[in-house]
Amino acid sequence: EVQLVESGGGLVQPGGSLRLSCVASGFTFSDYYMDWVRQAPGKGLEWVGRSRNKVNSYTTEYAASVKGRFTISRDESKNSMYLHMNSLKTEDTAVYYCVTVDTSRWDQKYWGQGTLVTVSS
């Protein structure tokens, strides 16, 4: 059974930093692309960024709204993906989800339960 468990959310002041974690199980982590998607309170879904799979050297893509401030990394030994968030703004307040991407079908089938990040003074 595929499981994605996010953690690391919390309250942080504007300008601060936070690292989110996503621990994966039930599939071959290195084979999959992985996405971060966020949802501000009461708002719609916003794609944050992507980590490609090992064959593609875990290269990354980012939304313009977070590029230069957020970085996605992976630790294959821990089956984990991370979202390093710097220079946080109030508009980064959201629930952050990690999502699998099956490149044979390009579908985002599995989602974690999400972790809430609140940026406020």
Q: Which residues bind other proteins (CB under 8 A)?
A: 35, 37, 44-47, 50, 61-64, 97, 105-114
Which is closer to other proteins, CB of 66 or CB of 88?
Answer: 66
CB nearer to other proteins: pick between 13 and 40: 40
- Cβ 74 to other proteins shortest distance, Å: 19
Amino acid at 82: Y
Q: Which is nearer to other proteins, 13 or 59 (CB)?
A: 59
| Token output for 72 | 């996605």
- Return the bridge partners of 13, or none: none
**What CA–CA distances, in Å, run from 75 to 4, 56, 65?**
14, 15, 25
Given a contact cutoff of 8 angstroms between Cβ atoms, the answer to whether 72 and 81 are in contact is yes
Q: Which residues pair with 37 in a beta bridge?
A: 47, 97
Smallest distance from the beta carbon of 67 to other proteins, in angstroms?
Answer: 9
Closest distance between other proteins and the C-beta of residue 121, in Å?
Answer: 27
